[in-house]
């Protein structure tokens, strides 16, 4: 029988029939679900969607402090009853109910003000770039993104709505990923450049993979060549998406074209890409949203462009965005430190690596391990500085700002 959901770490191999049984198992669900394991997460999400219930998707590595700050600490993983629970007669009805769902889906992005930012979505906003139809029915997806993040939700909806087999490979080592690709004949992968960089290092060849999508950070020509060697029969796409806007553009190579359906809602001002929020259902304000992405225009009409860099100071670590101000703010509360600076340094493994320089107060002492330990109590793993050095003084720019270059 065809697998519907596979997660080897929990020995999960479920068919669509069992999945539907698990959706119907009881009439409770978690409105605010903190991620624990993939199958339970997916059953809860689909249960919420088919019953038009709102759902909040919380990452497993949110710290208690982050949950407190967001105001979700008291309602995490509390069971709520669904009155008049929907009974799905078959998988087609499940697909239809998901497509017509009125649920509000809440996700989080790393905010620029220090806290993860709350972003609300609906099924229309999440499925804008999703393709459903007979051409897609035989696809077998590897889920390589965090399932609580925008990119992960997109992959799982693409797979669910076509009733594809979905194999959970997020967070697995490259060896395990390679085993899963071969064992389950995965045909479609969507992941960050860092994921592929680690995977292609083994020089394994995966002839059955038909499509590779890259997103979340800038890729490079060398990586494209390596991907072609490891996936000789795959088409390679780049995708532009953000937690706020969902997926918007797909590029062949590194040039993005704006689809006709949204061309009136996309413009470039002073090299910065702006998107009009009217294309996002249920947005409170209608305005031009500044993406913070600096682009180079290749053609004016129809608009085609290339990404150059980010305008903001965010450090992109393997597809995860780190706000240096947030970490510096926390470091200011360390009594041993007179001053500290967080900056990104280009890195051939992760794209960028988070680095830290610090100046000690007179007579004070602190071990690097202790700095990491204390930051780990407050922040997710990817935000922790990896290269930490003591210096005599922090270099500042002429305006008195800490220099991040």
The residue range among 57-65, 104-112, 160-168, 348-356 that interacts with other proteins, by the rule CB under 8 A, is 348-356
57 CB-contact burial (10 Å; exposed 0-12 / middle 13-18 / buried 19+)? buried
The answer to whether the CB of 49 falls within 8 A of the CB of 123 is yes
Q: How far apart are CA 388 and CA 364, in angstroms?
A: 17
Q: Is 327 in the site for other proteins (CB under 8 A)?
A: no
The residue range among 90-98, 102-110, 199-207, 264-272 that interacts with other proteins, by the rule CB under 8 A, is 199-207
Q: Is 202 in the site for other proteins (CB under 8 A)?
A: yes
User: Nearest CA to 52 among 125, 129, 126, 123?
Assistant: 123
Q: Which is nearer to other proteins, 369 or 392 (CB)?
A: 369
Q: Give residue 290's Cα distance to chain centre.
A: 19
Omega of the bond leading into 58 within 30 degrees of 0 (cis):
no
Q: What element of type H or E holds 21?
A: helix 16-24
Q: Is 349 in the site for other proteins (CB under 8 A)?
A: yes
Q: How far apart are CA 322 and CA 150, in angstroms?
A: 16
The residue range among 96-104, 150-158, 330-338, 340-348 that interacts with other proteins, by the rule CB under 8 A, is 340-348
Among 2, 92, 222, 235, binds other proteins (CB under 8 A): 222
Footprint of other proteins on residues 144-173 (CB under 8 A)?
173
Q: Is 403 in the site for other proteins (CB under 8 A)?
A: no
The pair of structure tokens assigned to 379 is 């922040």
Q: How far apart are CA 387 and CA 98, in angstroms?
A: 45
Q: Is 197 in the site for other proteins (CB under 8 A)?
A: yes
The answer to whether the CB of 181 falls within 8 A of the CB of 203 is no
Q: Which is nearer to other proteins, 47 or 341 (CB)?
A: 341
Among 200, 212, 214, 322, binds other proteins (CB under 8 A): 200
Write down the least CB distance from residue 104 to other proteins, Å. Answer: 34
DSSP string, 129-142: T---SGGGTT-EEE
Q: How far apart are CA 323 and CA 385, in angstroms?
A: 12
Write down the least CB distance from residue 86 to other proteins, Å. Answer: 41
Q: Is 9 in the site for other proteins (CB under 8 A)?
A: no
Q: Is 380 in the site for other proteins (CB under 8 A)?
A: no
Write down the least CB distance from residue 192 to other proteins, Å. Answer: 10
Among 264, 387, 403, 404, binds other proteins (CB under 8 A): 387
Q: Is 348 in the site for other proteins (CB under 8 A)?
A: yes
Q: Do the bridges between strand 304-310 and strand 255-257 make them parallel or antiparallel, or are there none, so unpaired?
A: antiparallel
- Residue 336, φ and ψ in degrees, nearest 5: -75, -20
Q: Is 386 in the site for other proteins (CB under 8 A)?
A: yes
Among 57, 123, 153, 198, binds other proteins (CB under 8 A): 198
Q: Give residue 187's Cα distance to chain centre.
A: 21
Q: Is 201 in the site for other proteins (CB under 8 A)?
A: yes
The residue range among 19-27, 107-115, 122-130, 344-352 that interacts with other proteins, by the rule CB under 8 A, is 344-352
The answer to whether the CB of 389 falls within 8 A of the CB of 345 is no
The answer to whether the CB of 270 falls within 8 A of the CB of 293 is no
Q: Is 236 in the site for other proteins (CB under 8 A)?
A: no
Among 13, 15, 257, 347, binds other proteins (CB under 8 A): 347
Q: Which residues are near other proteins by CB under 8 A?
A: 173-175, 194, 197-198, 200-202, 222, 226, 318, 345, 347-350, 353, 355, 368-369, 372, 381-382, 386-387
């Amino acid at each position: 029988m065809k697998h519907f959901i596979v997660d080897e770490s929990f020995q999960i191999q479920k068919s669509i029939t069992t999945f539907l049984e698990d959706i119907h198992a009881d009439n409770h669900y978690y409105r605010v679900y903190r991620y624990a394991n993939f199958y339970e997460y997916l059953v809860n999400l689909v249960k919420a969607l088919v019953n038009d219930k709102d759902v909040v998707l919380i990452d497993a590595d949110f710290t208690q402090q982050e949950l407190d700050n967001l105001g979700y600490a008291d309602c995490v993983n509390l069971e709520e009853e669904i009155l008049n629970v929907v009974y799905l007669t078959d998988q087609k009805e499940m697909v239809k109910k998901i497509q017509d769902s009125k649920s509000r889906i809440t996700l989080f992005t790393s905010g620029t003000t220090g806290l993860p930012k709350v972003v609300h979505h609906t099924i229309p906003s999440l499925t804008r770039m999703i393709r459903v139809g007979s051409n897609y029915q035989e696809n077998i997806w590897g889920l390589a993104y965090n399932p609580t993040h925008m990119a992960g939700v997109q992959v799982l909806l693409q797979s669910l709505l076509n009733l594809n087999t979905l194999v959970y490979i997020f967070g697995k080592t490259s060896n395990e990923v390679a085993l899963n690709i071969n064992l389950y004949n995965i045909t479609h992968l969507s992941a960050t450049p860092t994921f592929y960089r680690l995977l292609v290092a083994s020089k394994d060849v995966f002839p059955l993979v038909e499509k590779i999508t890259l997103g979340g950070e800038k890729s490079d020509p060398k990586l494209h060549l390596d991907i072609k060697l490891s996936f000789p029969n795959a088409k390679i796409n780049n995708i532009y998406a953000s937690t706020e806007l969902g997926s918007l553009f797909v590029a062949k190579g590194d040039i993005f074209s704006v689809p006709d359906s949204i061309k009136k809602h996309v413009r470039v001002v002073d090299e910065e890409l702006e998107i009009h929020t009217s294309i996002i259902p249920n947005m409170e304000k209608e305005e031009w949203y500044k993406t913070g992405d600096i682009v180079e225009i290749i053609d004016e009409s129809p608009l085609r462009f290339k990404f150059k860099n980010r305008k903001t100071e965010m450090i992109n670590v393997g597809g995860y965005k780190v706000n240096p101000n947030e970490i510096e703010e926390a470091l200011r509360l360390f009594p041993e430190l007179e001053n500290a600076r967080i900056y990104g340094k280009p890195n051939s493994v992760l794209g960028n690596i988070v680095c830290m320089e610090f100046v000690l107060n007179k007579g004070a002492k602190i071990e690097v391990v202790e700095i990491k330990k204390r930051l780990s109590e407050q922040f997710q793993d990817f935000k922790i500085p990896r290269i930490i050095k003591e210096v005599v003084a922090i270099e500042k720019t002429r305006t008195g700002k800490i220099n991040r270059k």
